């Protein structure tokens, strides 16, 4: 009597990792949707570009992870994190942002985020981190981990640029040297999109309207530190 052939079991919808992403960067959402959906073990991610729609449509949707942009328009990212945590709509709520400065990291974790991921990290590393977090490991990007480590190990840098991360400081320094965004991306071995994200964060943190003014302040600070 011939033994019946058994087909290899396929992951069911319930066993797949369910992720929702709330971010106003439509291009990034599309890219994340493609990457996550193409990664084995993940269900098709749910993506939203505004907070109110996301929270309303996800009211009865069980999630393993909710990735929340801290700068999402129409609501505070921190407030949205608190709402997700209180409603228990997601097993884990992750702050998803372009900022890796210490105050922002700590503020998000205090708001209830169980993880913190910086957008400039590679997308392949994000899917790996989500899979590890699904197994019970902490979800912190390298930049967020470094920010926390720096806070524990010593005081912030005594400079008007103390709120800039190491990556942002590097981008601003190379910009001050006259390098284009493409050249900076090549020098730092990151994408041009990553450089653009850093530039936006630099202007916001320094409170200046243009890169020209940011460069001027950077050069002035450099001259003072050499005196």
| Half-sphere exposure in the Cβ direction for 78 (13 Å, CA) | 9
The residue with greater pLDDT, 50 or 18, is 18
Same domain, 49 and 132: yes
| Residue 78 pLDDT | 87
Pair of tokens at residue 150:
């720096």
Same domain, 135 and 23: yes
pLDDT tens digits, one per residue of 137-168: 888 877 677 777 776 765 544 556 778 888 99
42: which DSSP letter? B
Structural domain boundaries, residue 60: 19-150
The residue with greater pLDDT, 223 or 49, is 49
Residue reference for tokens 């209180």: 86
Entry pTM: 0.59
Nearest to 161 by CA among 119, 116, 101: 101
Residue reference for tokens 């193409």: 38
Same domain, 127 and 70: yes
Same domain, 46 and 103: yes
Is residue 93 within 8 A of residue 80, CB to CB? The reply is no
Same domain, 68 and 136: yes
Considering 143-152, 184-193, 210-219, the range whose residues carry the highest mean pLDDT is 184-193
Residue at 102 is within a domain? yes
Angstrom CA distances, 39 to 71, 191, 206, stand at: 27, 21, 38
pLDDT tens digits, one per residue of 48-61: 988 888 888 888 88
**CATH at 34:** 3.40.50.2300
Same domain, 55 and 27: yes
Angstrom CA distances, 220 to 43, 159, 183, 212, 215, stand at: 51, 11, 23, 12, 9
Same domain, 123 and 28: yes
Mean of all residue pLDDT scores within the chain? 83
Tell me the torsion sign for CA atoms 192, 96, 125, 163.
positive
Same domain, 170 and 146: no
List, in order, residues 6 or more apart from 66 with CB less than 8 Å away. Answer: 19, 20, 21, 22, 58, 84, 89, 90, 92, 93, 94
Residue at 53 is within a domain? yes
Same domain, 23 and 133: yes
Pair of tokens at residue 119:
């957008």
Same domain, 47 and 124: yes
* pLDDT(74) > 70: no
């Amino acid at each position: 009597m011939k033994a019946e052939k058994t087909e290899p079991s396929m992951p069911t919808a319930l066993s797949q990792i369910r992720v929702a992403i709330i971010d106003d960067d439509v291009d990034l959402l599309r890219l994340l949707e493609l990457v996550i959906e193409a990664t084995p073990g993940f269900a098709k991610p749910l993506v939203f570009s505004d907070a109110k729609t996301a929270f309303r449509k996800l009211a009865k949707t069980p999630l393993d992870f909710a990735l929340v942009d801290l700068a999402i328009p129409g609501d505070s990212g921190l407030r949205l994190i608190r709402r997700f945590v209180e409603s228990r709509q997601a097993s884990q709520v992750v702050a998803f942002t372009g900022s890796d400065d210490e105050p922002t990291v700590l503020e998000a974790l205090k708001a209830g985020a169980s993880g913190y991921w910086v957008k400039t990290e590679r997308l392949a590393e994000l899917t790996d981190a989500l899979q590890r977090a699904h197994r019970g490991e902490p979800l912190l990007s390298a930049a967020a981990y470094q920010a926390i480590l720096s806070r524990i190990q010593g005081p912030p840098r005594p400079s008007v640029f103390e709120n800039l991360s190491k990556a942002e400081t590097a981008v601003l320094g190379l910009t001050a040297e006259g390098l284009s965004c493409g050249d900076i991306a090549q020098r730092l071995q990151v994408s041009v999109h990553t450089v653009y994200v850093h530039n936006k964060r630099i202007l916001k943190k320094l409170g200046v309207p243009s890169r020209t003014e940011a460069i001027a302040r950077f050069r002035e600070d450099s001259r003072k530190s050499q005196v």
